[in-house]
């Protein structure tokens, strides 16, 4: 366990908490919102057992990192990631992003290139864009973001309960692919996040990554669940594959948004096959 300092807010440093375990090629895991790095638990042990060095970190405002009231935009979040990769002097690393984490990795490549990278993995991707358009009618618009942010302000805990149900498709998978205990742990992580950070991050959903992903020049895997109720497979996974036709693309049948939990075996199989090439 360690921390890296990525800035200051008034009199206090902004520090990112990270864990760095194992030997071998480095794999860096970028978590989703409003969760933290502990959400990668179903992937960490298989990656370590396969001989990888596994690095997880908490985004600013989440988990055990600092909780500032600034910096919740992808330029800053990508800069935070750059500090971590630079401080650890990682080379030939694989970035694995999930949901909001895919925005960080796309913007990182757009700003800093791929000199430190060997591979990329996008799981339930925001890229190429999540904003509603003719090409993406399932996306979100500014009014939709406003509604989410207001719901967070009105009753963040009730809002999170409803969102988590659709993250995991609990009406289909509770007691089958996900336990009540796992749901409770995920709920606790989201509830423990900074209220400000939770409220601020949805504005990033309107960002565009078309220019960023044009700089991708390393082997890339795209994983998307066919039952994702948050980032639709038509609007996100298939559009990203169309933008990156040389990438390996795999749809996980029945996978919801947080399929790294409900469909961990399927996700891990595809991850390890890609990493071991």
**Which residues are designated catalytic?**
99, 228, 257
Sign of the CA dihedral with 54 first, then 55, 58, and 63 last: positive
Q: How far apart are CA 248 and CA 86, in angstroms?
A: 28
Q: How far apart are CA 194 and CA 248, in angstroms?
A: 35
Give the rounded distance of the alpha carbon of 60 from its chain centre. 13
Determine contact, residues 105/97, Cβ cutoff 8 Å: yes
Element (H, E) at 93: strand 93-98
The DSSP code for 203 is: G
Report the first-to-last Cα separation within the chain, whole angstroms. 30
| Count of helix runs (H) and strand runs (E) in the chain | 11, 8
């Amino acid at each position: 366990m360690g921390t890296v300092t990525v800035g200051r807010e008034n009199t206090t440093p902004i520090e990112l908490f990270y864990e760095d375990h194992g030997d071998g090629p480095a794999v860096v895991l970028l978590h989703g919102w409003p969760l933290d790095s502990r959400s990668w638990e179903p992937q960490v042990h298989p990656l370590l057992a396969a001989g990888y060095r596994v690095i997880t970190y908490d985004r600013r405002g989440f988990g055990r990192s600092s909780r500032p009231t600034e910096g919740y935009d992808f330029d800053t979040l990508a800069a935070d990631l750059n500090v971590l990769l630079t401080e650890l002097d990682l080379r030939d690393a694989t970035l694995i992003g999930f949901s909001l984490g895919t925005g960080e990795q796309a913007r990182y490549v757009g700003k800093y290139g791929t000199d430190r990278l060997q591979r990329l993995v996008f799981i339930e991707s925001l890229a190429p864009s999540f904003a509603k358009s003719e090409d993406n009618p399932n996306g979100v618009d500014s009014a939709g973001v406003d509604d989410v942010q207001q719901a967070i302000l009105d009753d963040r805990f009730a809002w999170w309960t409803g969102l988590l149900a659709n993250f995991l498709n609990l009406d289909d998978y509770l007691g089958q692919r996900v336990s009540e205990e796992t749901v409770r742990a995920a709920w606790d992580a989201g509830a423990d996040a900074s209220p400000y950070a939770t409220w601020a991050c949805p504005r990033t959903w309107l960002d565009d990554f078309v220019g960023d992903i044009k700089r991708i020049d390393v082997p890339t895997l795209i994983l998307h669940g066919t039952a994702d109720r948050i980032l639709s497979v038509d609007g996100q996974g298939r559009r990203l594959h169309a933008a990156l036709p040389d990438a390996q693309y795999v749809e996980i049948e029945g996978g919801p948004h947080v399929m790294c939990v409900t469909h961990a075996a399927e996700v891990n199989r595809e991850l390890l096959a890609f990493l071991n090439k």
